[in-house]
Amino acid sequence: MSTYQMVSHEQIKLAPGFWYDRRELARKVSLMAVYHRFRDTGRFDAWDFTWKEGDPNRPHIFWDSDIAKWIESAAYLLEEEENEEVELIIDDLVDKLEKHQWEDGYFNCYFGHLAPEERFQHYTDHELYCLGHLLEAAIAYKRATGKDKMLRLLIRYVDLVDRVFRVEHSAAFDTPGHEEIELALFKLYEETHEERFLTLMRYFINTRGCSEKDRTYDIFENNPAYAQAHLPVREQRTAEGHAVRATYLYCAMADLARQDKDEALLEACDALLDNIAHKRMYVTGGIGSSHIGEAFTVDYDLQNRSAYAETCAAIGLALFARRMSLNIPKRLYADVAELALYNGMLAGVSLDGKSYFYENPLEAHPELFHLNERYPRLKEHMPILQRKEVFDCSCCPPNLLRTIASIADFALSEDEREVYVHHYMPCEAQTRFGTLTMETGYPYDGKIALTVGFDSEVTIGLRIPGWATAYTLQVNGQPYKATLRNGYALITHSWSAGDTITLDLPMEVRLLRAHPALQEDCGRVAVMRGPIVFCAEGVDNGAHLKDIAIRPSMPFTYAWNEALNVPMLRTTATRSVWPEKTRIYTSDPVKRIGASLTLIPYFAWANRGESEMLVWLLERE
């Protein structure tokens, strides 16, 4: 098995371009916007441990994780630009953590203050999940600023968890009800090289699905699959249960498979990702189709209007796929991460960086949404039509923030002989061999230029995305015929500083058709260009989007929407002319006429007020 390591975002300096612009928006707008909404709703005040009955904003069991993800986001942004105000906020929080931490290391703003007698008694109540996010935040803050107080405090908590869960088995359950601490423990092991953290991670992973104690809990209608506890992890082959829980578990499984060279664990991870990618994932990279349990259901059950497709689940999928690329550089893994990042995740934040979607449907009808509001007894689940600045359960905003702030983690990996470029973004990366500079207009332009800054014989692998029907490759201006392995073009060369590689991925508009088991999408197409999924909005195309039909023979034109600052596609489609407007049905022939169709990136929908939206459009000549 592999010895690949991620080239960390700490080693990569992004240059102006798609992700640089979004990270700068996170720095200048989103970070403090999320902070103010969290302060308004009591999350930061909860660490004062002063709340009492009758006060507003009762602390919640998962609020620690919201604060933790905000700290982690801030830490990543502090790496490149100091911000005294933000550091003071975090240092004050760390002082509060120290003040209210129990003598044995325990800390939780809900149980530690409101229900101390109930600690480690509730499988589903997020204590270990919160600790996991706090650990990730503490590691990031230490690496950004050199301040290790938060990490030292939390290691005391980890040692308590190790004693209570792994040694004494004195908690009321054996494994985390919401996975997260497992992947955080691996990060802690990588940061400290202390074996005890890896031992605890292994214990939690190996015990999941094997614990009789965990099965005594009524987990979501007594369904252990909700928390991925239905089978031992090495026997799991289909993605089940709560989608975020699942992907966070799979992240940790992939980490441990690489660390321990565990073939059985890697085989399970590969099967799980394959099941998601080919049978349980929306064309946008969204996962978890049902609002009931925020969960996977069965193969090909991917409804559009009621799609849950939580933003955090798309992030979890991208993180899982990224870790799989460190086990085996395989095109499918990076393709899945790319799809989720540019579409399923990015739709979760407004273009101004201030508001968010929790759910990400592929179809929206304002009149049906408001009918739901007027007649609650008839109500069916329907995602909201406009993003909000904060939610009661507001896990997605800081999760998006931390992912965008550390987006360069997805770009490259390396071992002692090879460097793999998984995701294309303008940057200068410091590999173990020296610098590798990338210039590109990706994802809107498929031309990628790399400049080598070292003298060494190294294999450089470039992902050829699954959507690319062709590609051209040059080394130092001359055509190069690369070996293709697992979807990567491998260039083995004795490099000299200043050598160049040019990859050209033609970005043609593609019409995707769905498996016949996706009954809602039969006879319809989704439109993609490069890694970007496009959609139609009523604001551009009028009402009744489901009546508009794309003509496969008609070309698309590519243009720029100045108002949204995103690309758009235009083509000539058809739509029906209803013979009598007062009739609901007719036996008369229905005439179809030519109509202009304008599409925008799916991630940009709902930025111009309420409107119909549709991803899957009719296909008809």
Provide the pLDDT for residue 374. Answer: 73
Confidence band for 218, pLDDT divided at 50, 70 and 90: low
Mean pLDDT of 37-55: 98
The pLDDT score that the predictor gives to residue 309 is 98
Q: What pLDDT score does 240 carry?
A: 98
- Select which of 72, 240, 294, 612 is catalytic: 294
487: left (phi over 0), alpha (psi -120 to 50) or beta: left
Strands (E), 403-562: 412-414, 418-421, 427-430, 435-440, 447-453, 456-463, 472-475, 478-479, 483-485, 488-495, 500-504, 509-513, 524-529, 532-537, 549-550, 557-561
Q: DSSP class of residue 388? A: B
Q: What's the pLDDT tens digit per position in 544-586?
A: 999 999 999 999 999 999 999 999 999 999 999 987 777 889 8
Percentage of the chain modeled with pLDDT above 90: 93
Contact 233, 260 (CB under 8 A): no
Overall pTM > 0.85: yes
pLDDT in tens, 246-274: 999 999 999 999 999 999 999 999 999 99
The one catalytic residue among 109, 312, 395, 427: 395
Q: Please choose, from the candidates 153, 156, 166, 164, the residue with its C-alpha nearest in 3D space to the C-alpha of residue 205.
A: 166
| Cα–chain center distance at 567 | 22
Dig out the tokens for 322 from the structure.
């990224």
DSSP-derived secondary structure letter, 548: -
Q: What is the pLDDT of residue 567?
A: 99
Helix-helix angle 311-327:243-260, to 10 degrees:
10
**Cα Dmax for the chain:** 80
Catalytic residue flag (residue 294): yes
Instruction: Report in angstroms the alpha-carbon separations of 195 from 166, 198, 200, 327, 358.
Output: 14, 5, 9, 21, 37
Nearest-CA neighbor of 135 among 236, 252, 36, 35? Answer: 252
Q: In what order do the strands lie in the sheet with 472-475?
A: 12-14, 427-430, 435-440, 447-453, 500-504, 472-475, 478-479
279: helix, coil or strand? Answer: helix
**Which pLDDT belongs to residue 578?**
86
Supply the pLDDT for residue 313.
99
End-to-end CA distance of the chain: 50
- The topology under which CATH files domain 412-504 is Maltose phosphorylase, domain 3 (2.60.420)
- 389 is annotated as an active-site residue: no
Per residue in 354-371, pLDDT tens?
A: 999 999 999 999 988 887
Domain boundaries, the chain: 240-409, 412-504, 509-619
Give exposure, 148-173, as e/b (b: 16+ Cβ within 10 Å). eebbebbbebbebbbebbbeeeebeb
